[in-house]
A = this chain, B = another copy of it.
C-alpha cells in the first residue's frame, strides 16, 4: 500500500509498505478523511521525536473499517468510524489508574505517527478496536468528524485541566485550531469572560464566534498588561495554554492568574530545556496556582461523548475547516499549509 511518510528529518514523500496485519483485538481502517497537525510539522521539520525513517505520518482520521480481529465484537467491515489520535492499551496499569493516554509509558498512548505508522496511508491499523473506535453518526460530515480525532479533545482537555467553573474569567493563550476548541470548550463549560490571545484575523473571527468576549492581540502590547487592564487589575481565574513557548508563556499565565487558579496546558512544548516558572508570580511556591498539562484522553468513550456534543447541536466544527482538499494527492500540500500557516488558515482537511 501507499503512504505519505517522513523519510528522515526534514524530508517527506510517498512510500510503499505492506498493509498492516490485524491482531485479534484490532481493526484495519481505510481513511475517508485525514488532517495534518502541527505535531506532524514538529516531527518532520524539527525532529521533535528524533530521527524516524519511512514512518507514515498523520494521526487525525475518520475512516471505514475493512477488517477486524476475531475478538472484536462491536465493529465490522463497512462501519464508518472516528479514530482518536490517542489509542490506549486499556488494560495497562496507567489506564487502570486513570491515565490511559500514558499507557505503557509517558505519552505512549499516542501511537500513530509516533511509535507506529500513521493514518496518511491507504490503510492503517487500530489497536483494541472495540475500545478505541467510535461509530461516526450517520449524516455527519467527514471533514468535521475528523476534527474530533485531536483538535476537539485536545482543546477541551485544556479546559478540563484548568478546571473551569461557572462564572470563571478565563484566558486562552493561542487561537489556532486547538486554542479555538479551548475557547469553545471554556464557553461550553460555563466560563464568563473569555480573553483569547491571538493575532490572525481569521482566527480572531472564529474565536469570537466560539465564545471569546475579548481578543488580546499580542502584537498590540504585552499580554499581561492588556489582561490586567481589561480585568481592572484582578486577573483571571484560569488559563488555558494552547500556544507560546516554554520560556515565556507560563510566566505570562502566572502573572495574570489569581491565587487558587489553575493553568491547563495542552501546548506540546517542542523546544527549550526548561519551562520557566517565575518564582514571585508563583507566590514563592505558595500561591496555589496549580500547573497542569496533559495529552488528550483518547479511546471510544471520549470520542462518543465529544461526538454527541456535535450531534446535539452544542458544537459547530465547520468554522475550523478553512481548507478542504479532495484526494490523497493533496496530502503534501495540506501538510505544508500547517508548516507555513498562511493568514487565512485554521485547519486543512483531505477528503479521500
Q: Contact at B192–A305, with CB atoms within 8 Å?
A: yes
For A268, list chain B residues within 8 Å (CB): 284-286
Give A265 to B130 CA distance when docked, in angstroms. 33
For A106, list chain B residues within 8 Å (CB): 258-259, 283, 287
* Copies of this polypeptide in the complex: 4
A22 proximal to B (CB < 8 A): no
Give A185 to B309 CA distance when docked, in angstroms. 15
A101 proximal to B (CB < 8 A): yes
Give A128 to B93 CA distance when docked, in angstroms. 13
Contact A273/B278 with A187-B314, A192-B309, A259-B102 known, Cβ cut-off 8 Å: yes
For A194, list chain B residues within 8 Å (CB): 312
Number of A residues with CB within 8 Å of any CB on chain B: 90
For A288, list chain B residues within 8 Å (CB): 99, 101-102, 292-295
Q: Contact at B304–A295, with CB atoms within 8 Å?
A: no
Q: What 1/0 mask marks residues of chain A from 301 to 324 whose CB sits below 8 Å from any chain B CB?
A: 110111111011110000000000
The residue in chain B whose Cβ has the minimal distance to the Cβ of A298 is B96
Interface of A toward B, CB cutoff 8 Å: 24-25, 48, 71, 90-102, 105-107, 128, 130-131, 156, 160, 165-169, 185, 187-194, 213, 241, 246, 250-251, 258-260, 265-279, 282-295, 299-302, 304-309, 311-314
21 A-B residue contacts at CB 8 Å?
Answer: A25-B91, A96-B300, A99-B288, A105-B259, A106-B259, A106-B287, A166-B306, A188-B190, A189-B190, A190-B309, A192-B309, A267-B285, A269-B279, A270-B284, A274-B274, A274-B276, A282-B293, A283-B294, A286-B293, A289-B293, A291-B292
